[in-house]
A and B are shown apart, each in its own frame.
Chain A
Amino acid sequence: MTTTSTTTRGTSSAQPSNTVEALHHQSLWTRIRRSWQIYVLLLPPVVYCILFLYWPMYGLQLAFKDFDINAGITASPWAGMKYINQFLNSYLFWPVLRNTLVLNLYGLIALFPLPIILALLLNHVRNSKFSRAVQLITYAPHFISVVVLVGIILMLFSPNTGVINIPIRAITGQPIDFLGPDMFAHTYVWSGAWQTLGFSAIIYLAALAGVDPELHEAARVDGAGILRRIWHIDLPGILPVTITLLILNMGQLLSTGFEKVLLMQTPLNTPVSQVIDTYSYQVAFNSAIPQYSYATAVGLFKSVISLVLILVANWLAGRVAKQSLF
């Protein structure tokens, strides 16, 4: 495996070698026949997807129906765009959309590079025992539940009883309200760093395992320092994985999960902390009967927007980094 081919590896319209190119000139049917074994390999996961991921999607029509539990999903009466419109016209629609995008974009920009940096640093530690110990410790917070995590955040950062605010209050006379509307986004995003960095770095470590150490040797002989080597060897080596994860994360830009936000929400920070998922949760909570149709409609909205985001991200990646998913 040579360096020159790695940069073009990830593109779907790669520069194929002769035999592969030759294949593309054959008829479609011939090519299908020649690839039958690949199709066989793909069969179990495809069947799985159809059964457990695609088949339930018939439930998406609930977004356009009034759900009658006795009649079932298919036989329920149609309601048209009623629920979609209710969401789009809701008084809280723009605020929750804005808050969701702000929190998630901030989180993405701030936190996306960090696991990469961690993986790179770990990869270049000379003492492998130290590196492995750090990996082990930093991956453990992943298992701490949201409730406990927020409890720890409050214990440290609460404007009322928080430990960190004691010296701050001594110096400035006023505690910093880490949960207030000004600081909420920062507290929310960076507390995630604690918990997720070590775990997210794993995938980059796996990618770095594929970088040929001889490349580094050769570069060292040529006099390149570690930072230059990281820049020219490691980063290109993990670029495909980075782009893939970035595009996938763009598709998740509208999902925050509601638990952590809800635990950190107060009447004072609600204008910036009310996101789509907490809104959905509160609507369900405030309703005497389950709102399947409305929940499905909100979910469908999220899916459509996420699709657009992924398409844009994919196209951008193809333009800028010459790598895209499809």
Chain B
Amino acid sequence: MNSSPLSRRRILQATLAGLGTAAVGGSIAGCAPGGGGNDPGKPSGLESVPKATLPEPRTDMLFADGYVGPYAYDRKPFGDGTKTFRIVVAQDAQVVGDWNNNKTTTEVEKRTGIKIEFVPVVVRGTDGTIDMTKINAMLAGGDLPDAFMGIPFTTAQLALYGQQGLFLPLDDYINTYSPITQKVMTDYPDLRGLKASPDGKLYTMLGVNDCYHCNSSPGRAWVNKKYLDKVGMDIPTTTEELRQVLLEFKNKNPSGKSGFLPFASSESSPMDTFFMNSFLANPGNQLPGNVAWLRLNGGKVEFTANLPEWREALKYLNQLGKDGTLTQATFTMKDTELQQNGNKGLIGFTRAYWWGSFFNPVNLDLDAPWRDYVAVPPLKGPGGVQYAWWNYYGYSTDGLQVTKKCADPGALVQWTDYIMDLDTAMWTYGGVQHENWDYAKKGDVGINGKQALVSRKLFPAPVGTGWSQYAVMYRSSDYRLAEKVDPKAPTYEAGLYEAGKKYEPFAYPQDSQLPPVILSTEDSAAAADLNTSITNEVKVSLAKFSLGQLDPNNDADWNAYLDRFTAMNLQAYVDIYQKAYDSRPQ
């Protein structure tokens, strides 16, 4: 797998952050710049280029024991300041400001010797969701820059555009120019497989953003500890205990205010990620790609929302509906209304992402009301099942793609390598060193309780000084959790970390989660259509079964529900994903 020049280099190195032997997966034929994805020849001249290596990492900052993550290196600029590349990036007037007139941009140019002309494009709509209209139009119109950075392409889009020849395959370039990326692939062995295309090639530079608490977020629930104490109950551990808590809330109204809601949730928050996992392993539709209620069972793709265990879960929710603790409000309340209710202290129990979902604003006062809400770990169902929703593959993030228009892909790959260096990455993320961030001192404690690595003054960095989170970054879990916290002023971070820790032991096994797969182009239209019908049906019926408009105890209602899935050709949906799963790149 490795060519001999590589091994020779290996022997010469003695770095702690060594490259390891399995640098890049597969000897994939690269393409000449400008060539299509099927060109069997290697990029011209790459073999004669000496592979870039890393010197010893710097030691002027403190790493906790067992730290896995980015390091800083002393390297000279590799460019001579004459080349300019055009890179399309996400526009962000609030934090980044003007990309071309930015302190980090100047610093990066100094460190790499390469000039970049940034072309900012808005990629978010006003509702916060991703809006790729303009990027898609640019691509379809043939309006290509040299590269894209921080643009939220889906892996399927990367595969599609790569295979159609718009993006260049980068494995050979990474092999030659980016030792840091090679190291990242060693630290996170599954990473490449998440971003590679079905043809086996990698059309993007790899970024990591390993957010610990994000892995459990869609399945978290919260309860007001003060109200619990008032009714004299403990945090529930089983579904039956929760039912009792809710009944007590309803009957005793510990808030003392009118309009108190024992159980409140916004209609856009999924409930099945928390409740159904007390009956079966259920990823819901919250995994990236909006895959609708599919999981793996012994290597076979399986739909969860029509299984007998799902029916049992519906019976439980139906019971809550009959108790009067699960009301219509849960299915009609919009996000802003939930926040208003939270602000007024009217919420007992809620299934929400974090406190900001049901409070607005969420300030950092020590006696702020949101601090009364604690996470409720997964409940044990009547059958003994006690799973937490978990995402095992959530750590990859947007990277950099080199287009066919680029005259020197190697330079951009090397540029990416340089900005992934810990020190440079801190500039991109935190702004100007010493003004807004510093390396931590001995004894500073991080979020995870270990030695901290960096400390920050202001977040986000003042406008015009940083690149927010749009650079290609290697933000491993250890790195993220090594940010200094002030024990006297706990932020949400610590609380979210603690919450995540409560859920992790119960996470359903990794082989229950369907990993991200790339559908073939022919299948993707059909899958999108099927997904929409299926999602509608699951959501609408969940509401109806819970509220008693349909009865899960009634065989006729349940069978009609099953029949509807057959009528919308659910099997075709499952088959499409089975096919994609079986043929995914390793």
Interface 9-residue window, one of A9-17, A127-135, A291-299, A316-324: A291-299
Q: Which 3 A-B pairs have the closest CB atoms?
A: A288-B156, A287-B528, A91-B568
Complex Cα distance A179/B161, Å?
42
Is A83 positioned at the interface, with any CB of B under 8 Å from its CB? yes
Shortest C-beta distance, B353 to chain A (Å), equals 18
- Per-position contact with B for A271-308: 1 when CB-CB < 8 Å, else 0? 10010000100111111111111100000000000000
Are B529 and A289 neighbours in the complex by a CB distance under 8 Å? no
Query: Which residues from chain A contact B524 at a C-beta distance below 8 Å?
Result: 287-289, 291
The CB with the most chain B CB atoms within 10 A, among A69, A83, A284, A291, is that of: A69
A117 close to B (CB within 8 Å): no
Give Cα A283–Cα B536 distance, bound, in whole angstroms: 11
Other contacts beyond A266-B267, A274-B536: 8, CB < 8 A: A70-B164, A91-B567, A159-B329, A161-B340, A268-B331, A284-B528, A288-B157, A293-B525
Chain A proximity mask over B334-345: 1 for CB below 8 Å, otherwise 0: 101100110000
Does B219 have its Cβ within 8 Å of any Cβ on chain A? no
Q: Provide the bound-state CA to CA distance between A160 and B334, in Å.
A: 9
24 inter-chain pairs at a CB distance below 8 angstroms, sorted by A residue, are: A66-B521, A68-B164, A69-B139, A69-B140, A69-B160, A69-B161, A70-B164, A91-B533, A91-B567, A160-B333, A160-B341, A180-B332, A266-B267, A267-B267, A267-B331, A268-B328, A270-B539, A271-B540, A279-B532, A282-B532, A288-B154, A289-B524, A291-B525, A292-B140
Which chain B residues numbered 2 to 23 have a C-beta less than 8 Å away from chain A?
none
| Cβ-based interface call for A49 (8 A) | no
Question: Contacts A293-B525, A294-B525 given: A267-B154 contact, CB under 8 Å?
Answer: no
Q: Does A72 contact B (CB under 8 A)?
A: yes
Assess whether B531 is interfacial by the CB under 8 Å rule.
yes
When chains A and B are docked, how far (Å) is the Cα of A158 from the Cα of B336? 11
Give A66 to B522 CA distance when docked, in angstroms: 8
Instruction: List the count of A-B residue pairs having beta carbons below 8 Å apart.
Output: 123
> Could you tell me if B332 and A160 are in contact, using CB atoms closer than 8 angstroms?
yes
Q: Are B542 and A286 in contact (CB under 8 A)?
A: no
How many residues belonging to B are interface residues under a CB distance threshold of 8 Å? Answer: 55
Q: Which of A69, A87, A286, A294 contacts B531 (CB 8 A)?
A: A286
Give the docked Cα–Cα distance between A297 and B133 (Å): 18
B543 touches A268 (CB 8 A): yes
Does B526 reach chain A (CB closer than 8 Å)? yes
Distance from A17 Cβ to chain B, minimum over Cβ atoms (Å): 52
> Could you tell me if B518 and A72 are in contact, using CB atoms closer than 8 angstroms?
no
The answer to whether B290 has its CB under 8 Å from any CB of chain A is: yes
Q: Hey, which chain B residues are within 8 Å of A292, CB to CB? A: 140
**A270: which B residues are within 8 A, CB to CB?**
536, 539-540
Chain B residues whose C-beta falls within 8 Å of the C-beta of A177 in the assembled complex: 328, 332
A289 touches B157 (CB 8 A): yes
B328 A69 Cβ-Cβ under 8 A: no
Residue of A nearest to B526 (CB): A86
Task: Give the dominant DSSP class at A's interface.
Answer: loop
Residues B34-70 near A (CB distance < 8 A): 36
- B515 → A minimal CB distance (Å): 14
Bound form: Cα–Cα A92–B532 in Å: 8
Contacts of A180 in B (CB 8 A): 332
Residue A154 is within 8 A (CB to CB) of chain B in the complex: yes
Q: B528: which A residues are within 8 A, CB to CB? A: 283-284, 286-287, 291, 294
Counting CB contacts under 8 A, is A215 at the interface?
no
Within 8 A of A (CB), among B132-166: 132, 136, 139-140, 142, 154-157, 160-161, 164-166
Q: How far is the CB of A52 from chain B (nearest CB, A)?
A: 15
Q: Which residues of B pack against A, CB within 8 Å?
A: 36, 126-127, 129, 132, 136, 139-140, 142, 154-157, 160-161, 164-166, 267, 289-290, 292, 328-329, 331-334, 336-337, 340-341, 518-519, 521-522, 524-533, 535-536, 539-540, 542-543, 567-569
Which residues of chain B are within 8 angstroms of A147 by Cβ–Cβ distance? 126-127
Determine the chain A residues whose CB is within 8 A of the CB of B336 once the complex forms.
151, 154
A87 to B568, CA, bound (A): 13
Q: Which residues of A approach B to under 8 Å, CB–CB? A: 66-72, 83, 86-87, 90-92, 147, 151, 154, 158-161, 177, 179-180, 266-268, 270-271, 274, 279, 282-294
Q: Once the chains bind, are B540 and A285 in contact (CB under 8 Å)?
A: no
Given A91-B533, A177-B328, A289-B157, answer yes or no on A267-B542 (Cβ-Cβ < 8 Å). Answer: yes
B450 CB, nearest partner CB in chain A, Å = 37
Q: Shortest beta-carbon distance, B405 to chain A, in Å?
A: 12
Expressed in whole angstroms, the minimum distance between the Cβ of A94 and any Cβ of chain B is 12
Residues of A within 8 A of B522 (CB): 66
Give the Cβ gap from B546 to chain A, nearest Cβ, in Å.
10
What are the residues of chain B within 8 A of A72 when measuring CB–CB? 142
A86 to B533 Cα, complex, angstroms: 13
**Which partner residue on chain A sits nearest B565 by CB separation?**
A91
B531: A residues at CB distance < 8 A: 283, 286-287
Cα A64 to Cα B329 with chains together (Å): 44
Chain A residues with CB below 8 A from B161, complex form: 69-70
Cβ–Cβ < 8 Å partners of B539 in chain A = 267, 270
Chain A residues within 8 Å of B267, by CB: 266-267
- Residues on B with beta carbons closer than 8 Å to the beta carbon of A179: 332
| Complex Cα–Cα for A87 and B163 (A) | 27
CA distance A179 to B536 in the complex (A): 17
Give Cα A179–Cα B333 distance, bound, in whole angstroms: 10
Closest A residue by C-beta to B37: A70
Instruction: Give Cα distance in the complex from A92 to B154, angstroms.
Output: 26
Given known contacts A147-B126, A288-B289, A92 and B533 CB-to-CB distance under 8 angstroms: yes
A161 to B200: give the CA distance in the assembly, Å. Answer: 54
Residue of A nearest to B329 (CB): A160
Q: Is there an interface contact between A160 and B337, defined as CB atoms closer than 8 Å? A: yes
| Cα A274 to Cα B535 with chains together (Å) | 12
A267–B155 contact, CB under 8 A? Answer: no
Of all chain A residues, the one with the shortest Cβ separation from B535 is: A286
* Contact A90 to B529, CB < 8 A, known contacts A69-B161, A288-B518: yes
- Closest-by-CB residue of B relative to A91 is B568
A289 touches B521 (CB 8 A): yes
Q: Specify which chain B residues have a CB less than 8 angstroms from the CB of A288 in the assembled complex.
A: 154-157, 289, 518-519, 524
Which residue on B lies nearest to A291, using beta carbons? Answer: B525
Considering the complex, give the chain A residue whose CB is closest to the CB of B334: A154
A268 near B529 with CB under 8 A, answer no
The distance from the CB of A46 to the nearest CB of chain B, in whole angstroms, is 25
Query: A86 with B525: in contact, given A69-B161, A161-B340 (CB under 8 Å)?
Result: yes
Distance in Å from the Cβ of A265 to the closest Cβ of chain B? 9
Q: Which residues of A contact B542 (CB under 8 A)?
A: 267
B301 CB → nearest A CB, Å:
16
Interchain CA distance A21-B540 in the complex, whole Å: 64
Report the nearest A residue to B546, measured CB to CB. Answer: A267
Chain A residues with Cβ below 8 Å from B527 are 287
Question: Distance in Å from the Cβ of A173 to the closest Cβ of chain B?
Answer: 14
